[in-house]
Structure 1
Amino acid sequence: MGGTRQRPGDRPGPAGGVRVALGLVAGALAVALCAVLVERFVLHAEWWQVRHTVTAKPVAPQSDVGPPPGPLAVSWEETTRIHGGSAGGYDGVAYGVARGQLVTASGGGLVVRDARNGAERWSYRRTGWTLLGWTSTRSRLVAYFERDGRRDDRLLVGFDELSGAQLWRRDGERPAAVSRATLRWPAGAGVVLTTDDGRSALYGVSALTGKRLWRTPLPKACRLFEGAAQPSDALDAADGTDTRADTRAGALAAVAVGCPEQLGRVLAVDPGTGRVLWSRTLALKESPDVRVLDGVVLVSRGSALRAFAADGDQIAGWDGDEVCEDRMCPAALADGRLLVVRHQAGKGAGTDRMEAVDVRSGRVEWSRDVPGYAALTQAGDTVYALRPRLSEQLLPAGLDIVDPGDGGTTTAPVPFAMDPDLAGAHPWLAAAGGLLYAAVAEAAPRPAGAVRLVALRGGPEGTGPAELGGVPVDDWPDACALLKKPDLAAVHAGGHDTGHDSGAGRTSVGTVTLPHPVSCTYETKWEEPESEGTPAGPKPSKTPSAKASATAKEGEKAREDPDGDRKGETEGSPSPDAGQSTGPDGAVPGSAVRGLTVSVRWVGETPGAAAKMLDALEAIQSQARERPDIHADQAYEFGPTAGMIALRVDRVVLVVDVDRPPGAAARLARAVADRLRA
């Protein structure tokens, strides 16, 4: 008779317990194995994370030349939406032009285009990861990614820059000092610079294989800075536009490091070997911005700007309150001269100083006032400068072509508007192959915005001056003739002499002066409403303080600029009685118009060109609403209230700006549109 291992009460015996334990262990191992397999082949799998396209099409190099002086036309353009990542400050869009290609780097990944026509050549994106940096050297491009929500999960990926083929990938590596302004970090001589978690050493990683080639420790107790917009930069003898590459002396990388006793240093390093070429101590408590221009190293922070030669000798220096403000001063190197644009103490906004320094002697060859250039670039012996406004009272941005020999300029409008303070991208310029590339931030699509890249070529000559886009000066209407007394009386602004010169704003572009006022401000007097307990009687009259300037030099001083940033109300101006009833368009009967300005912002060569300019203005507004009820060809309302309306009638773009009462701007905009159509 066989025994049983079943214990009384149906409890398993010792052998059954072993089987249960083994089953539990096997189950746990299976779960762990499944987790590992899911982690490796699903969560970290390349097949679903990566979207990678390559190309076998050849691309020819571009000549080192930009467009000629004169009108400009759009060759091609593209818009990149802002990609918000987990690392604050690195969510912008950056560009680079080299070897006939244009690289667009954003948090979403890389897109490489044919620089001539904008056709996409190759791209690389990773789902769940954000691109935080990129660099290139000797036809190799390296991108740096961090996993969203896990910043310690890092990845470097190397590519063939022309085809997009992946060459290698390296986990855990950290680039040295990525710039928030350009998303680039130093590279040169076929080597990219990386660092450790403590930022106490530099490493050289082969851009071809991804292997470490050298290690250079930083000075004792020093660490790489990360707090600046541009804490590092590099020059590669094989980078940049192709024809200029043959003339470059060699590779040089410059990085800013913080050291004890609140002193900073700038180190110049040979990226091929890691050898420190020179070191300079700077009495700076914060991280400086660093830029390398063909053997010249610029270092800027707040009240100081220094320029060093390739051997470390200082060739120029500037001091002053906010000489570069919070970003690197625009600069370019052409014909042996360093051109620098710096701010001037005591000067008004938009009035900077450009100086040309001979690199060999350090002598200032010429110096002149310039209109607050947002970016500079160089092609051959020509310097291109982007100005945020063609004129203070006109809508489009402008381009100055600067002769580095004597500072002479020619000016032309560009077919877009810009706000240099918008987040998303620092204004950027590059020139190659007869084209000029410009990138500016836009507020649309809202809320994150985008960056618009425009490739410009020389355009056909018009019948008018190039400074006005080929439009004859006689085509510009008189801003002070667009409203008549009945129009003003309808919104309780009657009694004003429309020919009054104190409110007429005139402007000029280069050597061209427009014969008629481009803006007209109407002054309105009123009496303060009586309050309870105040005896009736005559009250002192007041006038709003906002006026358009009488000259182009003073600029327009309206309370709202064309970028739509509304300032506070005019001091001392009364508000409409909240208890009063409103009339058509919401206007309050009996209330006086405040701060009424009508301005002609642009006249396009064609209605289509004018429409694109108005659309460009709308794209840089944080708040914009279409107003089809204005009965113009196009109309938008800007700002939090209904006080500013931009409209287009045929080829003319105008702005009507009325602080209050509500509805007055719309009513006057209709009157302006009707008068232009008459």
Structure 2
Amino acid sequence: MGGGRQRPGGRPESVGGVRVALGLISGVVAIALVAVLVDRFVLGAEWWQVRHTVTAEPVTPQREVGPPPGPLTVSWERTTHIHHGSVAGYDGVAYAVGLGQVVTASGRGLEVRDARTGAERWSYRRSGWTLLGWASTRSRLLGYFERDGDRGARLVIAFDALSGGLLWRREGLRPAAVPRATLRWPAGSGVLLATDDDRRTLIGVSAATGNRVWRLPLPKRCRLFEGGARPSAGREDLAALALDCGGEERHSRLLAVEPGAGEVAWERRLGSAESPEVSMLDGVTLVSDGTALRAFDEDGEQFGVWRGDDVCGDAMCPGVLLQGRLLVVYHPDGAKRGETRMEAVRVPSGKVEWGREVPAYAALAQAGGRVFALRPRLSGRLLPAGVDIVDPADGDATTAPAPLSVNLDLPGPQPWLAAAGGLLYAAVPQAAPRPDGSARLVALRGGLAGDGPAELGGVPVDDWPDACSLLKKADLAAARVERHTAEPSRASAGTVRLPRPVTCRYEPPEDEGPAEDDPAGEEDDGPEDGREPGRRSAGAASPGPDGSASPSAEPGASGGPAGGGKDGKDGRDGEKGAVERTVGGFTVSVRWVGRTEHVASELLDALQATQAKARRRRDIGADEAYEIGPAAGMIALRVGRYVVVVEADRPPGVAARLARSVAYRLHHPSGHGPSPPGPS
């Protein structure tokens, strides 16, 4: 007869082993439980990673009316920093106006403000998560978040649109489409449009409860586009989504769905296999598919088509629907570069009632029977952006300057426009704060008329100086450019023609450098698309969009006063022999004259905020001055109400010398006072 081995004290050894194993198992279970609890109640806890504010303040709805024709002034403004999350391309900022509120959606979260005052109402941010989409339907506002670095961790959160109160949250929901340009995924009639992981099924989700209400399989061999600038759009009663359809001939389709019922309203095949850009107006759907811009009516019938692979350029063609007319801005096929037209098309007949050449409008809005159009430049030679108020009946327009600077080449958010409550809301991209940039939202109202024309912000035309008078013979001699030839150019703002040159281009003698290949003519206003007019001679620090200078042939730091420093040394960096080197062509431009010094200062600040590289200069002698661009070839300065830009081809530092002379002449227009800076 055998027995188990005994430990001291009479306990079997097998029993002790069981207890050790149980202890290990208990320890593992405890560690796992602690890990789960830490992940749920610490790492995933709302109390430390969420910043959520709500409000109980009432809000007043706004009438659908914009500001009257005439000068515009800032009522309130707000800057939203760009958020670069883990998902490339979704770094935009989107806006919407409704229910008396302005909604700002960015990767950082949601921010809702009073549309009249700009006061904050409620907001929601979530640390470690990025907002990749948002939706609005009825009284609900919803945000779609993904955890940074883990696209499988998805979260949809529903809020009361007015108070910001949390209504519900669901994990795992995937929006049917998230446009990169607007971040707004389709929703309407109290239903959100979601999809499955294969993107082959549409799913309707109640915005009130977060529960599924219907399911709709997509056509055979078709799936939703995973990404795109604008692969979808929607309104309360209809949503349009682009489909990527395979088979023998791959192509794209447009599917229009009634969100409330989950039924297909209509379906149309498009002209290419690429992801189209979709936008929806009240009764019209616009689609740009890489071959043409197409317009469909409420029943899906195509009533308008504008052909061309560049008909909309780099963004969706702006359009509005008003009084039964579709007003659309496009680039005609085969037209010269930069040519832009606006046409009014009757819906649903497709009859073109009128068409005319217009500036390259960056955005359109309509309210109160008027159409508001944002032009990147008031004029090709002037600094501020402009707003045209267009009569939808015949296309006649009145123009007013806007206290904005628009740089169309900046990455990030696209220009946006809306009108309500007697205000015009405009959003434009900025390079500042650097390096990531931001979007600037400005609420504009009607300003004081002033003594001059509205096109000049109320400033009389006689207040504008002659750009060629800002440098005297002594200034040119001090900078050793007395042999340069002055070439003046004038400009217009709307229907107002400025009587004196606003730009003066100085060209060196032929034996000192290449002349301008295509000098600006006396009557040439240049383009109005936010890009600098004209061409520069060889070696120029050619300005980029809205005046941003690109690297010159001889990069270097800015200099001191005109002719300043011993032995030709620049007053700032002491570069030896800078003045002795041949000076290339240079330009002096009066970019704006403000009604007040404050207006001029705001505009100069707006200019520098749109430049990737802008540095403040305190040695120019102006009230404010900035060196713009990677090289020292461009100085933007303000003296009193005047904003002037000096651009020089070469050598580095000469722009700063000339800018000092310009600042002196603006401070002493009569010639009295101390002598201008000169050689030591």
Q: Say yes or no: TM over 0.5.
A: yes
Deviation per CA, 1:96-149, whole angstroms, max 9, x where unpaired? 011111101011111111111011111111111110110111111111000011
Instruction: Give the equivalent residue in structure 2 for 1:19.
Output: 19
* 8 Å contact kept, 1:323–1:342: yes
Deviation per CA, 1:484-535, whole angstroms, max 9, x where unpaired? 23322333322135xx4xx21110011101010000111102647xxxxxxx
In the alignment, is residue 550 of structure 1 matched against residue 488 of structure 2? no
Instruction: Give the equivalent residue in structure 1 for 2:202.
Output: 202
Structure 1 residue 345: Cα displacement: 4.0
Structure 2 residues not aligned, in runs of 5+ = 528-532, 536-541, 555-566, 669-680
1:366–1:416: structure 2 CA closer, same or farther, 3 Å change rule?
same
Give runs of aligned pairs for residues 164-203 of structure 1, distance below 5 A. Answer: 164-203=164-203
**Could you say what the CA RMSD is over the residues aligned between the two structures, in angstroms?**
2.1
Structure 1 residue 544: Cα displacement: 4.3
Instruction: Give the equivalent residue in structure 2 for 1:214.
Output: 214
1:5–1:180: structure 2 CA closer, same or farther, 3 Å change rule?
same
Select which of 617, 620, 644 maps to 2:610.
620
Select which of 297, 316, 320 maps to 2:285.
297
Q: SS at 2:480's partner residue?
A: coil
Deviation per CA, 1:265-311, whole angstroms, max 9, x where unpaired? 00110000110011001121200001110010111023300000010
Q: SS at 2:28's partner residue?
A: helix
* 8 Å contact kept, 1:463–1:470: yes
C-alpha separation in 1, matches of 2:618 and 2:99: 47
**What one-letter code is carried by the residue in structure 2 that aligns with 1:61?**
P
Structure 1 residue 546: Cα displacement: 6.3
Instruction: Give the equivalent residue in structure 2 for 1:631.
Output: 621
Q: Normalized against structure 1, the TM-score is what?
A: 0.91
1:597–1:348: structure 2 CA closer, same or farther, 3 Å change rule?
farther
Q: SS at 1:210's partner residue?
A: coil
C-alpha separation in 2, matches of 1:140 and 1:403: 35
Number of residues paired by the alignment? 636
C-alpha separation in 2, matches of 1:283 and 1:345: 16
Instruction: Give the equivalent residue in structure 1 for 2:72.
Output: 72
Structure 1 residue 420: Cα displacement: 1.9
Structure 1 residues not aligned, in runs of 5+ = 237-250, 529-540, 572-580
* 8 Å contact kept, 2:622–2:663: yes
Deviates more, 1:295-304 or 1:127-136: 295-304
C-alpha separation in 2, matches of 1:326 and 1:154: 31
C-alpha separation in 2, matches of 1:54 and 1:601: 44
Instruction: Give the equivalent residue in structure 1 for 2:530.
Output: none
Structure 1 residue 22: Cα displacement: 1.6
Q: SS at 1:208's partner residue?
A: coil
Give runs of aligned pairs for residues 93-112 of structure 1, distance below 5 A. Answer: 93-112=93-112
Q: Normalized against structure 2, the TM-score is what?
A: 0.90
Instruction: Give the equivalent residue in structure 1 for 2:484.
Output: 496
Structure 1 residue 48: Cα displacement: 1.5
* 8 Å contact kept, 2:278–2:286: yes
* 8 Å contact kept, 2:85–2:148: yes
Instruction: Give the equivalent residue in structure 1 for 2:564.
Output: none
Instruction: Give the equivalent residue in structure 2 for 1:507.
Output: 491
C-alpha separation in 1, matches of 2:286 and 2:477: 59
In the alignment, is residue 428 of structure 1 matched against residue 412 of structure 2? no
1:522–1:380: structure 2 CA closer, same or farther, 3 Å change rule?
same
Instruction: Give the equivalent residue in structure 2 for 1:535.
Output: none
Give runs of aligned pairs for residues 258-269 of structure 1, distance below 5 A. Answer: 258-260=244-246, 261-269=249-257
C-alpha separation in 1, matches of 2:15 and 2:604: 85
Deviation per CA, 1:604-637, whole angstroms, max 9, x where unpaired? 0111110111000010010011110001000100
1:629–1:277: structure 2 CA closer, same or farther, 3 Å change rule?
same
C-alpha separation in 2, matches of 1:414 and 1:646: 19
1:566–1:348: structure 2 CA closer, same or farther, 3 Å change rule?
farther
* 8 Å contact kept, 1:582–1:589: yes
Instruction: Give the equivalent residue in structure 1 for 2:662.
Output: 672
Instruction: Give the equivalent residue in structure 1 for 2:243.
Output: 257
* 8 Å contact kept, 1:303–1:324: no
1:4–1:303: structure 2 CA closer, same or farther, 3 Å change rule?
closer
Select which of 563, 573, 586 maps to 2:546.
563
Q: SS at 1:629's partner residue?
A: coil
Give runs of aligned pairs for residues 267-282 of structure 1, distance below 5 A. Answer: 267-282=255-270
* 8 Å contact kept, 1:77–1:453: yes
* 8 Å contact kept, 1:487–1:671: yes
Instruction: Give the equivalent residue in structure 1 for 2:506.
Output: 522
Instruction: Give the equivalent residue in structure 2 for 1:389.
Output: 377
C-alpha separation in 2, matches of 1:347 and 1:554: 17
Q: SS at 2:155's partner residue?
A: strand
* 8 Å contact kept, 1:491–1:592: no
C-alpha separation in 1, matches of 2:121 and 2:129: 22
Structure 1 residue 422: Cα displacement: 1.3
**What one-letter code is carried by the residue in structure 1 that aligns with 2:347?**
V
Q: SS at 1:254's partner residue?
A: strand
C-alpha separation in 1, matches of 2:445 and 2:267: 42
1:272–1:208: structure 2 CA closer, same or farther, 3 Å change rule?
same
1:469–1:347: structure 2 CA closer, same or farther, 3 Å change rule?
farther
**What one-letter code is carried by the residue in structure 2 that aligns with 1:193?**
L
* 8 Å contact kept, 1:549–1:557: no
Structure 1 residue 52: Cα displacement: 1.1
Instruction: Give the equivalent residue in structure 1 for 2:595.
Output: 605
Q: SS at 2:373's partner residue?
A: strand
In the alignment, is residue 55 of structure 1 matched against residue 55 of structure 2? yes
Q: SS at 1:24's partner residue?
A: helix
In the alignment, is residue 311 of structure 1 matched against residue 299 of structure 2? yes
1:564–1:512: structure 2 CA closer, same or farther, 3 Å change rule?
closer
C-alpha separation in 2, matches of 1:563 and 1:509: 16
C-alpha separation in 1, matches of 2:12 and 2:94: 69
C-alpha separation in 1, matches of 2:89 and 2:12: 64
Instruction: Give the equivalent residue in structure 1 for 2:674.
Output: none
**What one-letter code is carried by the residue in structure 2 that aligns with 1:263?**
H
In the alignment, is residue 152 of structure 1 matched against residue 124 of structure 2? no
C-alpha separation in 2, matches of 1:621 and 1:543: 28
Q: SS at 1:630's partner residue?
A: coil
Instruction: Give the equivalent residue in structure 2 for 1:416.
Output: 404
**What one-letter code is carried by the residue in structure 2 that aligns with 1:70?**
G
The alignment-based identity, stated in percent, is 63
* 8 Å contact kept, 1:492–1:591: no
C-alpha separation in 1, matches of 2:511 and 2:488: 25
C-alpha separation in 2, matches of 1:233 and 1:652: 44
1:469–1:651: structure 2 CA closer, same or farther, 3 Å change rule?
same
* 8 Å contact kept, 1:544–1:594: no
Deviates more, 1:590-599 or 1:668-677: 590-599
Instruction: Give the equivalent residue in structure 1 for 2:582.
Output: 592
Structure 1 residue 550: Cα displacement: 2.4
Deviation per CA, 1:556-590, whole angstroms, max 9, x where unpaired? 3143256344357689xxxxxxxxx8523435243
* 8 Å contact kept, 2:318–2:362: yes
**What one-letter code is carried by the residue in structure 2 that aligns with 1:290?**
V
Deviation per CA, 1:422-444, whole angstroms, max 9, x where unpaired? 12211000111111100001000
Select which of 650, 657, 661 maps to 1:660.
650
**What one-letter code is carried by the residue in structure 2 that aligns with 1:619?**
A
Q: SS at 2:619's partner residue?
A: helix
Structure 1 residue 380: Cα displacement: 2.8
